[in-house]
C-alpha cells in the first residue's frame, strides 16, 4: 500500500469513527430527552380582549 492509500484509508477510518460516535450520541439524546414531559399546554383565552397600554 502506498503512502497515499494509507492516508486515504486513515481519513476514511476517522470519518467512520466520527459518524458512529455522532449516531451514538443522537440515539442517547433521543432516549434521554424523549422521556421528558414538556408540561401542560397553556390555557387559551377565548372571547376576551386583552388591554395593552401602548403609551
Q: Does 31 reside within a domain? A: yes
Q: Which domain holds residue 31?
A: 1-35
Give the integer Cα–Cα distance in Å for 26 and 15. Answer: 16
Statement: residue 6 has pLDDT above 80: yes
Statement: residue 38 has pLDDT above 80: no
pTM of the model: 0.55
**Is pLDDT larger for residue 53 or for residue 23?**
23
For residue 25, give the 3-state DSSP assignment: helix
pLDDT at 53: 80
Residue whose C-alpha is closest to residue 28's, from 39, 20, 17, 38: 20
Joined together, the cell numbers standing for residue 47 give: 372571547
Per-chain mean pLDDT for the chain: 86
**Total tally of structural domains belonging to the chain:** 1
φ, ψ for residue 38, nearest 5 deg? -65, -35
Q: Does 55 reside within a domain? A: no
**Is pLDDT larger for residue 20 or for residue 31?**
20
Give the integer Cα–Cα distance in Å for 18 and 16. Answer: 5
Amino acid at each position: 500500500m502506498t503512502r497515499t492509500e494509507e492516508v486515504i484509508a486513515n481519513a476514511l477510518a476517522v470519518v467512520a469513527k466520527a459518524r458512529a460516535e455522532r449516531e451514538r450520541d443522537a440515539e442517547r439524546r433521543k432516549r434521554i430527552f424523549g422521556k421528558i414531559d414538556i408540561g401542560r399546554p397553556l390555557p387559551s383565552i377565548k372571547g376576551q380582549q386583552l388591554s395593552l397600554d401602548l403609551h
